[in-house]
Amino acid sequence: MTIQIYNTVARRKEEFIPADPKRVTMYVCGPTVYSFPHIGNARPAVVFDVFYRLLMHEFGHVIYVRNITDVDDKINAAAVSEGISIGQISARYTRTYHQNMADLGVLPPSIEPKVTEHMPQIIDMIKRLIVAGNAYEAEGHVLFHVPSYHEYGVLSGRNLKELIAGARVDVAPFKKDDADFVLWKPSGEDQPAWDSPWGAGRPGWHIECSTMIEQHLGETIDIHGGGQDLIFPHHENERAQSTCAHHGKLFSRYWMHNGFVNVNHEKMSKSLGNILLVQDLLEQASGEAVRFTLLGTHYRSPLDWTDQVLNQSSRNLDRLYEVLQKLDDVDVDVDVSAEDMPVAFMDALKDDLNTPAAIAELHKLAKQVNTVFSHDSRQVLKKQLLAAGKILGILQQDPAAWFRGTNEIDEMEILALLEQRASAKNERDFKRADEIRNQLKAMGIQVQDRPDGTSSWRKA
């Protein structure tokens, strides 16, 4: 089976055929670094991380670019309100983003370009758009002239008439067309500025992605991804800029967009005060559980985050690690090979990244462990579970470590108490044995007796 992708521009699933199977290219819009990453920032990172792993598995060589937007008025505002420099703001939140994503098991992309490092290229692309007749200068601004691109609106399914009808009342007077958008704008005293043929200023909101894609991946890429909210205007505008700068050459062969994360049936927003920060969720559960939750819903569907979903994910992972623990006696190679990949699992992922169906296949494999007894069969199952887990970015920990958690615990004390309890049990002093068990429970430790009389423990 080949990979199928729901292509936003075609509005249906299509077979994924890269332009060059030896060099698959993907660009995903990364964060604007002005605040702490929230769960909505994490969703595309995790979703496209799994897709990246899938592409690597299928094609071997993938160039995955995810940018850092470090030029933005929101960053300027954060610098003012926090009383530190713009550079300090973007450095701080870039670092937090990297830490949070690592905690969620997100692999670094092949390339992570920053807007500030691409000013000459941005200015160059704007110049070319002016020369080509798609952009014009007006009062220190450079604007993209939307009517010059006849396919404008095709990606987002809008037509120009609608856009004009819905346009804001306060359209800048120097715009030739109400729908025209900014490529370059002049900077005031306290705003970051770069020299350009149009005066000191800064780039508009969309040109940066077009430029970085051209710079690092070329004129045509295989996949462009991001959140659904970026379809319009961000990706529509990118598409217009890049296509026109390249004289009509196809920009992206496939467009993929992930759905939003809602919180208790409401949109996450500052005004509702319900923004879930990744760092706060990591206090409640493991990064792996957060990741598992994000993969538990198909990437195009909205994901409603409630108090329950994280718990359910932790339980699901408990169950899978439980099974791996049962297979502790089976040795497998550290590096699982392609033949170990379970077919039904892969078919689910290849079908437009159907991670919920893939996880269901993982559970089916786990169940089989109970009905299979030969060493060879158990070894195959363990390989399959680990290989599948690797694509999803889960199940790679030692099961014992998973159940013991990351919190600091005094293992010696626990073992001493378990020993005391064992001798109490031996003397059939069950009252004493239960006291010790309750004592451990108060410490957050759950005792588990084995059939042979010995006991193990895990984090409650």
Partner RNA sequence: GGCUAGGUGGCAGAGUGGUGAUGCAGCGGCCUGCAAAGCCGUCAAUACCGGUUCGAUUCCGGUCCUAGCCUCCA
- Among residue numbers 73 through 112, which ones bind RNA (CB under 7 A)? 74
List the structure tokens of 133: 């007749």
Q: Name which position in 24, 68, 207, 231 contacts RNA (CB under 7 A).
A: 231
Give the bridge partners for 277, in sequence order: 38
Residue 83 or 451 with smaller CB distance to RNA: 451
Report the nearest approach of RNA to the CB of residue 353 (Å): 10
Give the bridge partners for 114, in sequence order: 68
Question: In terms of Cα–Cα distance, which of 407, 301, 393, 396 is closest to 52?
Answer: 393
Q: Name which position in 304, 347, 377, 443 contacts RNA (CB under 7 A).
A: 304
How is the beta sheet containing 62-66 ordered, strand by strand?
62-66, 24-28, 221-227, 252-258
Please name the residues in contact with 141: beta carbons below 8 A apart, sequence gap of 6 or more.
Answer: 172, 174, 182, 184, 185, 186, 198
Residue 112 or 449 with smaller CB distance to RNA: 449
Report the nearest approach of RNA to the CB of residue 347 (Å): 11
Q: For strand 261-263 and strand 303-305, is the pairing parallel, antiparallel, or unpaired?
A: parallel
d(CA 163, CA 154) in angstroms, rounded, equals 12
- Among residue numbers 241 through 270, which ones bind RNA (CB under 7 A)? 258, 260-262, 265-269
Give the bridge partners for 457, in sequence order: 447
Q: Name which position in 78, 324, 359, 381 contacts RNA (CB under 7 A).
A: 359
Residue 88 or 426 with smaller CB distance to RNA: 426
Q: Name which position in 55, 309, 336, 440 contacts RNA (CB under 7 A).
A: 309
Burial (CB < 10 A; 0-12, 13-18, 19+), residue 244, is buried
Residue 214 or 352 with smaller CB distance to RNA: 352
Identify which range of 85-93, 186-194, 215-223, 315-323 contacts RNA by CB under 7 A: 315-323
The 3-class secondary structure across 425-438, one letter per residue, is: HHCCCHHHHHHHHH
Cis ω before 233 (30° cut-off from 0):
yes
- Among residue numbers 115 through 144, which ones bind RNA (CB under 7 A)? none
Please name the residues in contact with 150: beta carbons below 8 A apart, sequence gap of 6 or more.
Answer: none
d(CA 6, CA 12) in angstroms, rounded, equals 5
Report the nearest approach of RNA to the CB of residue 123 (Å): 20
- If one asks whether residue 374 binds RNA (CB under 7 A), the answer comes out as no
Q: At 352, phi and psi to the nearest 5?
A: 55, 45
Q: At 149, phi and psi to the nearest 5?
A: -120, 105
Report the nearest approach of RNA to the CB of residue 249 (Å): 25
- Among residue numbers 20 through 39, which ones bind RNA (CB under 7 A)? 29, 31-32
Identify which range of 117-125, 243-251, 405-413, 426-434 contacts RNA by CB under 7 A: 426-434
- Among residue numbers 273 through 302, which ones bind RNA (CB under 7 A)? 296-298, 300-302
Q: Name which position in 18, 40, 109, 389 contacts RNA (CB under 7 A).
A: 40
- If one asks whether residue 163 binds RNA (CB under 7 A), the answer comes out as yes
Contact 33, 89 (CB under 8 A): yes
Give the bridge partners for 227, in sequence order: 258
List the structure tokens of 307: 């108090």
- If one asks whether residue 15 binds RNA (CB under 7 A), the answer comes out as no
d(CA 308, CA 338) in angstroms, rounded, equals 35
- If one asks whether residue 407 binds RNA (CB under 7 A), the answer comes out as no
Report the nearest approach of RNA to the CB of residue 379 (Å): 19
- Among residue numbers 430 through 449, which ones bind RNA (CB under 7 A)? 430, 433-434, 437, 446-449
Residues binding RNA: number (CB under 7 A): 76
Residue 8 or 246 with smaller CB distance to RNA: 8
Residue 246 or 256 with smaller CB distance to RNA: 256
Please name the residues in contact with 339: beta carbons below 8 A apart, sequence gap of 6 or more.
Answer: none
Report the nearest approach of RNA to the CB of residue 248 (Å): 25
List the structure tokens of 37: 């990453």
Q: Name which position in 322, 377, 420, 443 contacts RNA (CB under 7 A).
A: 322
Residue 127 or 262 with smaller CB distance to RNA: 262
Report the nearest approach of RNA to the CB of residue 264 (Å): 10
Report the nearest approach of RNA to the CB of residue 4 (Å): 10
d(CA 252, CA 28) in angstroms, rounded, equals 12
Interface pattern 165-204 for RNA (x via CB under 7 A): -xxx------------------------------------
Residue 98 or 128 with smaller CB distance to RNA: 98
Rg for the chain, CA atoms, rounded = 26
d(CA 210, CA 118) in angstroms, rounded, equals 11
User: How remote is the C-alpha of 232 from its chain's centroid?
Assistant: 20
- If one asks whether residue 371 binds RNA (CB under 7 A), the answer comes out as yes
Residue 243 or 258 with smaller CB distance to RNA: 258
